[in-house]
Amino acid sequence: MNARFVILAAGKGSRMKSQLPKVLQPLAKKPLLAHVLNGLSELSDKAPIVVYGHGGDQVKAAFSNQSIQWICQTEQKGTGHAVQMTSAELADDDIVTILYGDVPLVKNSTLERLQALADKSSIALLTVTLENPTGYGRIVREDGQIKAIVEHKDATDAQHQIKEVNTGIMSVRGKELKKWLSQLDSNNAQGELYLTDIVAMACEDNYEVLSVQADCEWDVAGVNDKSQLAELERIYQQRKAKELMIHGVTLLDPSRVDIRGKVSVGNDVEIDVNVVFEGAVKLGSRVKVGPNCVLKDCVIGDDCVIEAYSHIDSTVMGNAVSVGPYARLRPGTELGDNSKIGNFVETKKAVVGAGSKVNHLSYIGDTQMGSDVNIGAGTITCNYDGVNKHQTIIGNNVFVGSDSQLVAPVEIGSGATIGAGSTITKDAPEELLTLSRSKQLTIKNWTKPNKK
Ligand code: UD1
Ligand code: MG
C-alpha cells in the first residue's frame, strides 16, 4: 500500500485568543501538529502534506527540521477546498489519509485499520459515537450502510438525533478522491466546499463506504480553545502515567506527574508527587524520585535517590548516586557511582568522580573531579573571569575545606587538603595542605565602641 497523509491545518483557531497559531499550541510541551506528525513515518515513506494558512511562516519554522510538504491555502473555503489544494500531489494508487492538525491523539493502530479498509473499498471513515453530537457532521446510514455525512447546520431534526459522527479523519484512494474533489460545490448552509460530500458521491458511484469506530472519544478529540487544550493535556498525562505504571513504576499519585517527552524505566522505580519529566529521561532500576523535581534529558543509573525539589538537566549519573534536596544539576554534569550532591549545590559541565561528595551550598562548574573527593560547604569554583570560562581540575582523595574558592584555571593534586576559607589561585600540590588565609589575630587593647 502507498500510504500518504494530508494534514489540514489552515484554520485560524481564533478561540485560542493567542498570537501562536493553533497547531503550535503545546500539548505536553510539544506543538499539537507535532503530535499529529509523530509516528506517521512508520506508516508512510512519503513526506506528509500539511495544508497551512494562518501563521504559515511560524508553523513552517517550527518544523524546519522535518521533511514535510507544505501547501498554502490562502483563503479557507472549507475542508474540501483544503484537500483540493493537494490534488496535484496525490498519486492514483495512494491511500490518502486526511488528518486534522488540531486532533493530536489519534493512534497509529487506528490509522492502520482505516487504511486497510480504504485499500479494500476505496473509502473509509473514522467515526465516533458521542453523547452530545452537536456541531459535528452526522453519519447517515441506511440498513447499516453509510450513505452520507450531513453537517450539523445542514441536518434535519431527525438527523440531529444521530449520535454517530464524523471525526473528520478518513482514508480514500487517490484516484477516486481526486475525482470526487473535482465535483464538490458550495451549495450548503455554510457556503463552503465540504470534504464530507465525497461520501454521498462514493455511494452514487456504487462504492461501499466502510468505517472504523474510534476506541475512545479522546483519541479523536479536537482542540479549539485553552480549556479543551487543558482537558486534553490531562487525558494525555493520565495515559502517560498509566504507561509508566504498566512498566512497574510506583507513582505515589498518578494524577500528579507530568511527562513532556519520553521516560524509560528499569524495575521498581518510585516517583513521588509533582515530578515533571522533559525530553528523554532514562531511569535505572530502584531509582527513587522525591516530590517536586524536574528531570530533563538525563540518564540516571540504578539505585539513585533524587530528593525533593531537585532540578536536573542534561546530566548523566552512575549507580547509587544521591542528589538533593534542592540541588540544581545543569547541562554537562556527570556523576560517578556513589557520589553525592547535597542541598543548595549547583553544578554545570562538572564531572564528579565515584564516591565524591559535594554536600552543601556549592557551585561546581567547568570542573573535572576525581574519586573520593570531599568538597566542603560553600566551596565555589570561580570559573568565569568576566570574559572566559576556565577549568578546575581536582585529583582523587582531595579534601577541600569549607568556604573555599578555587579560582580557575587551577589544579588541585590528588590527596591534597585545602584549608577552610582559602582562595586558591595557584595549583595546589598532591598530598600536602595548602591554604591561603591571613593569620588569625586577637587585638588585645581593643574596646567596643560606645553608643553616642
Ligand atoms: C468538520 C467536518 C465535520 C466533522 C468535524 C469534526 C466538514 C465539512 N465537516 O467540521 O463533519 O464532524 O470536522 O471535527 O469537513 N480546515 C482547513 N481549511 C479550511 C477549513 C478547515 O485547513 O478551509 C481545517 C481546520 O484547520 C481544521 C479542520 O480542517 O483543522 C476542520 O475544520 P473545521 O472548520 O473545524 O470543520 P468543522 O466545521 O468542525
Ligand atoms: Mg471543527
Distance 201 CA to ligand 2 centre (A): 22
Give the pLDDT score at 143: 97
User: How many residues in total does the chain contain?
Assistant: 452
- Closest-approaching ligand to the CA atom of 135: 1
Residues flanking ligand 1, CB < 6 Å: 8-11, 51, 73, 76-79, 81-82, 100-102, 136-137, 149, 151, 165-168, 194-196, 222
Quick check: do 2-220 and 226-434 share a fold?
no
Strand partners, 71: 51
Which residue's CA is the nearest one to ligand 1's atom 8?
A: 194
Q: Counting atoms of ligand 1 from 1, which one is nearest the CA of 51?
A: 22
Distances (CA, A) of 451 to 225, 315, 445, 447, 448: 67, 55, 19, 12, 9
Distance 241 CA to ligand 2 centre (A): 29
Which residue's CA is the nearest one to ligand 1's atom 35?
A: 11
Domain formed by 2-220, architecture: Alpha-Beta Complex (3.90)
Distances (CA, A) of 411 to 48, 353, 368, 407, 414: 55, 15, 9, 9, 9
Distances (CA, A) of 183 to 81, 85, 95, 200, 207: 11, 14, 19, 11, 16
Distance 98 CA to ligand 2 centre (A): 14
Q: Counting atoms of ligand 1 from 1, which one is nearest the CA of 76?
A: 23
Q: How many angstroms separate the CA atoms of 235 and 405, rounded?
A: 49
CATH code for residues 226-434: 2.160.10.10
The x, y and z cell numbers of residue 104, run together, are: 493530536
Which residue's CA is the nearest one to ligand 1's atom 25?
A: 11
DSSP string, 45-101: SSPPEEEEBTBHHHHHHHTTTS--EEEE-SS---HHHHHHTTGGG--TTEEEEEEET
Give the pLDDT score at 12: 82
- Closest-approaching ligand to the CA atom of 166: 1
Give the pLDDT score at 261: 97
Distance 78 CA to ligand 1 centre (A): 7
Q: Counting atoms of ligand 1 from 1, which one is nearest the CA of 193?
A: 8
Distance 103 CA to ligand 2 centre (A): 10
Which residue's CA is the nearest one to ligand 1's atom 26?
A: 11
Residues 6+ apart with CB under 8 A from 265: 244, 247, 248, 249, 282, 283, 287
Q: Counting atoms of ligand 1 from 1, which one is nearest the CA of 102?
A: 30
Distance 239 CA to ligand 2 centre (A): 24
- CA dihedral in degrees (91, 124, 105, 26; nearest 10)? 50
- Closest-approaching ligand to the CA atom of 78: 1
152 φ, ψ (degrees, to nearest 5): -50, -45
Which residue's CA is the nearest one to ligand 1's atom 39?
A: 136
- Closest-approaching ligand to the CA atom of 168: 1
Longest Cα separation, the chain: 112
Residue ranges of domains in the chain: 2-220, 226-434
Distance 99 CA to ligand 1 centre (A): 10
Residue type, 246: I
- Closest-approaching ligand to the CA atom of 221: 1
Q: Counting atoms of ligand 1 from 1, which one is nearest the CA of 11?
A: 26
204 φ, ψ (degrees, to nearest 5): -60, -35
Distance 356 CA to ligand 1 centre (A): 59
Positions marked active-site: 360
Q: Counting atoms of ligand 1 from 1, which one is nearest the CA of 165?
A: 12
DSSP state of 335: E
Q: To test ligand 1's pocket by mutation, which of 79, 81, 160 has the most ligand atoms within 8 angstroms of CB? A: 79
Which residue's CA is the nearest one to ligand 1's atom 32?
A: 79
Give the pLDDT score at 337: 99
Give the pLDDT score at 164: 98
DSSP string, 392-452: EEE-SS-EE-TT-EEESSEEE-TT-EE-TT-EE-S-B-TTSEE---PPP---TT--PPPP-
Give the pLDDT score at 169: 98
* Tens digits of pLDDT across the chain (452 residues): 899 999 999 988 899 999 999 999 999 999 999 999 999 999 999 999 999 997 789 999 999 999 999 999 999 999 999 999 999 999 999 999 999 999 999 999 999 999 999 999 999 999 999 999 999 999 999 999 999 999 999 999 999 999 999 999 999 999 999 999 999 999 999 999 999 999 999 999 999 999 999 989 999 999 999 999 999 999 999 999 999 999 999 999 999 999 999 999 999 999 999 999 999 999 999 999 999 999 999 999 999 999 999 999 999 999 999 999 999 999 999 999 999 999 999 999 999 999 999 999 999 999 999 999 999 999 999 999 999 999 999 999 999 999 999 999 999 999 999 999 999 999 999 999 999 998 999 999 999 999 99
